[in-house]
Structure 1
Amino acid sequence: MDQLSAMQTFRRVVDLGSFSAAAVQAGVSHTILSRQVKSLERQLGTQLLTRTTRRLHLTEAGGLFYRHCVQILEQMQAMTLELSEHQQQPTGTLRLSVSTAFGELELGRWLPDFVERHEGLQIELNCTDRFVDLLAEETDVCLRVTDHLPDSSLVARRLATSDVVLVAAPAYLQRHGTPSTPDALAAHPLLGYSQLQHPQRLLLAGANDEQRQVLMPSRLSANSPMALRAAAIGGLGIASFDRFIVHDALGDGRLIPVLAQWSLPSRTLYAVYPQSRYLAPKVRALLDYVQTYYAEPRWQD
C-alpha cells in the first residue's frame, strides 16, 4: 500500500466528513477509499474511525494520527513547492573551474553580468591550469580551451574556436629581425609553455595545405601563459598563444603577428560538465549564457 496516498485519503475523508464526499472530490469510488482506510488501520494496528449511518468519528488514535497526517502532508507540499521553485530558479553555489589565463582575461568581460542576472547564485571559482576531476572535486562546470579532450563520461559543449597565433614585441623584431619564412624561425628563441609535450616545436600550415614543422631554441619556458605573455611583451622572444590571451596586446600594438600568412592548429573553448539526466538550473543558466555570449566572435583581428 502507498502509505502517503492512504494518508491523503484519510485526511480527505476526515476533512469532508464522509467517504462519499471524499470519493466525489477524488474522482474514485467510495469502496476504494474505504478499503484504503481499512488497510491503513490494519497496518497501524488500531482503529482510526468509527462509522455510523450518519457520520464518521475519529477515535483517540485517529485524532493523533490525523494531526500527524496534516503536519506531514503540509511539509511534503512545502518541500514539493520549494523543489519546484528550485528547479526553475538558479540558486545555491555554482562551482566553476577555468584556466588561469581565461580567468584573468575573460571572466571580467561577462561574469559580472551573469551574476547580476542571477542574484540567488554564489560563485565558487577555481582558477587552475592542472587537470580537474570534476566529480572528485565536486565541480559543476569547467571552461577549458584545448585541442583535445580525454575520453570520459563527461559532457563537452563546444562554445568557440580560438586561433593560435605567433607573436613578438615590436622591440624584439627591431633588434633581431622579422622572420619571413618558417625556416628563419630556427634562429629565434621561442618562449615555450612547459606543460606541452613539445614546448619548442611548432607545426605551421601555409597555402595549398603546405605544412612545416619547426624546432626553435628555448630562451624561457614557464608553466604560466600569463608569465609567457609578459615575457613576450617585454621583448624576450617569439611565442605562440591562444588568441584570447593576446587579443588586447595585438590590438594596442604591444605585440604583433609573426608569419601571419602561416597558421597554427586552432583550439576550442569547451564547457565540460558531469552527465546528468536533469541539469540543475544553476548549471543550465551558465551553459546557456556562455553559449550565447561566445556565439558572437570575440577574438577577431
Structure 2
Amino acid sequence: MDRLQSMRVFSKVVEQGSFARAAQALDMSNTVVTRNVADLEAHLGTRLLNRTTRKLSLTETGKQYLERVRQILADIDDADAVASSSARKASGTLRIYCHPGFGQYQLARLLPLYAATVPDVVLDVSLADHSVDIVEEGFDVGIYMGLQKFDSSLIARRLATSNVVLCASPEYIARRGEPLTPVDVSSHDCLNFAFEQLRHSWPVKWENKQVDVPITARVVSNNISVLRQAAIAGMGIMVRSSLTLEDDLSSGRLVQLLKGHHLGQMSLSLVYPSRRLLSYKVRSFVDFMTAQFPRPESDPWLAHV
C-alpha cells in the first residue's frame, strides 16, 4: 500500500463528500479510490468513514486522523514548493486581506520586516470587519479571525490563538478595586461591545465551566478604539482580544484582570488558494507569517507581559 497516496485519496473523499466525486477529481476509477480507503483503514485497524447509501460521514477517529493527514499533506506540498521555488525571486503586487484587529495591532508591525526580505514586492493591504471572498475579490492571501467564514476549498493555516480577556486601567482599579472572581465583575462599570449576545452578560470561563456574569454597561460601542480610550481613561472594565492588548499591557496603560479566566478564544488563520502553482510572492509571505508564529495552538501575546 502506498500510504501517502491512500492519505491523499482519503482526504479527497472527505472533501468531495463521495467516492465517485473523489474518483472524478483524482482521475481514478471508483474501485481504486474505494480500495485505497479500505487499505488505509485496514492498515490503521479502525474505521475512518461511516458509509450509507445516502451519504458519508467521518467517525470520531476519522475526524482526528483527517486533521493530522491534512497537515501532513500540507507540509509535504510546502516542502515541494520551497524546493521548486528556492532559485526564483518574489515580485509583483501582493494583495492581502486582513481582519482589522490583527491588521492594526500586529500585521502593521510585521509588514516592514517582510518587505525587507522581498524588495521587489508591492504590498496592497485591505482591512475589513466582514468576511471577504479572497478569490472573488482578487486577493492573494487573507488573514481571518474568530468566526469569520471563508471557502472550505481554500488552504487554511492556523497562526495563533487569541484569548479574550478583561482589562481596566490602574486608575480604575485604584478607585473601584480589582475583581477577584468573575462574579465580582457584576458590581463594576463595564465597557461593552454592541453585540446582542454580550448586551446583558459576559460568558467567563471559570473552573472549567462557563459562568454568565450579569453586567452593567457604562459605555456601549461597536468600535474598539472608543472602548479602549474609555478604558484607559478609567471609565470601566473592557473585554479585549489579547492580540490587540499587548502594547497597553506592557506600557501599563491597562492591566489584565482575572488572569487564568477568559471569555473565549479566537483563532487566527492564514488563508490562500491551492498550493499547486502557488506564486513565489505568496509562498514567501506564507513562509514568513508561519515563521512568526511557531506554536499555532498558543496565545503569544499574553506570554511575556
The TM-score with structure 1 as length reference comes to 0.65
How much has 1:180 moved relative to structure 2? 2.0
Letter of the 2:266 counterpart: R
Look up the match of 1:154.
154
Map 1:160-199; keep pairs closer than 5 Å. 160-194=160-194, 197-199=197-199
Map 1:113-124; keep pairs closer than 5 Å. 113-124=113-124
How much has 1:145 moved relative to structure 2? 2.6
Partners of 1:212 and 1:197 in 2: how far apart? 14
Look up the match of 1:272.
271
Look up the match of 2:283.
284
> Does residue 231 of structure 2 align to residue 229 of structure 1?
no
How much has 1:291 moved relative to structure 2? 0.1
How much has 1:85 moved relative to structure 2? 8.7
For residue 293 of structure 2, give the secondary structure of its aligned residue in structure 1. helix
Look up the match of 1:133.
133
Identify the range of structure 1 (280-289 vs 209-218) with the bigger mean alpha-carbon deviation: 209-218
Look up the match of 1:41.
none
Look up the match of 2:34.
none
How much has 1:124 moved relative to structure 2? 0.6
Look up the match of 2:201.
201
For residue 119 of structure 1, give the secondary structure of its aligned residue in structure 2. coil
- Cα–Cα, structure 1 residues 108 and 224, in superposed 2: closer, same or farther, change >3 Å? same
How much has 1:147 moved relative to structure 2? 4.9
Look up the match of 1:89.
89
Partners of 1:216 and 1:153 in 2: how far apart? 41
How much has 1:111 moved relative to structure 2? 0.9
Partners of 1:85 and 1:185 in 2: how far apart? 54
Letter of the 1:114 counterpart: Y
Map 1:8-87; keep pairs closer than 5 Å. none
Whether the 8 Å CA contact 1:190–1:200 is kept in 2: the answer is no
Partners of 2:196 and 2:145 in 1: how far apart? 14
Letter of the 1:277 counterpart: R
Look up the match of 2:292.
293
Identify the range of structure 1 (227-236 vs 237-246) with the bigger mean alpha-carbon deviation: 227-236
- Cα–Cα, structure 1 residues 250 and 211, in superposed 2: closer, same or farther, change >3 Å? same
Whether the 8 Å CA contact 1:158–1:268 is kept in 2: the answer is yes
Letter of the 1:212 counterpart: V
How much has 1:273 moved relative to structure 2? 1.9
How much has 1:151 moved relative to structure 2? 5.8
Look up the match of 2:12.
none
Q: What's the CA shift string for 1:150-209, capped at 9, x where partnerless?
A: 5632221101121222101111122222222222212223222235743553222223x2
How much has 1:237 moved relative to structure 2? 1.3
Partners of 1:281 and 1:99 in 2: how far apart? 23
Identify the range of structure 1 (231-240 vs 268-277) with the bigger mean alpha-carbon deviation: 268-277
Gaps of 5+ in 2: 1-83
Letter of the 1:128 counterpart: A
Q: What's the CA shift string for 1:131-160, capped at 9, x where partnerless?
A: 212122111111123156456322211011
Partners of 1:99 and 1:196 in 2: how far apart? 21
- Cα–Cα, structure 1 residues 119 and 143, in superposed 2: closer, same or farther, change >3 Å? same
- CA-atom RMSD in angstroms: 2.6
For residue 287 of structure 1, give the secondary structure of its aligned residue in structure 2. helix
For residue 277 of structure 1, give the secondary structure of its aligned residue in structure 2. coil
How much has 1:112 moved relative to structure 2? 0.7
Look up the match of 1:11.
none
For residue 264 of structure 1, give the secondary structure of its aligned residue in structure 2. coil
Letter of the 2:209 counterpart: E
- Cα–Cα, structure 1 residues 119 and 277, in superposed 2: closer, same or farther, change >3 Å? same
Look up the match of 2:59.
none
Could you tell me the percent identity over the aligned residues?
A: 33
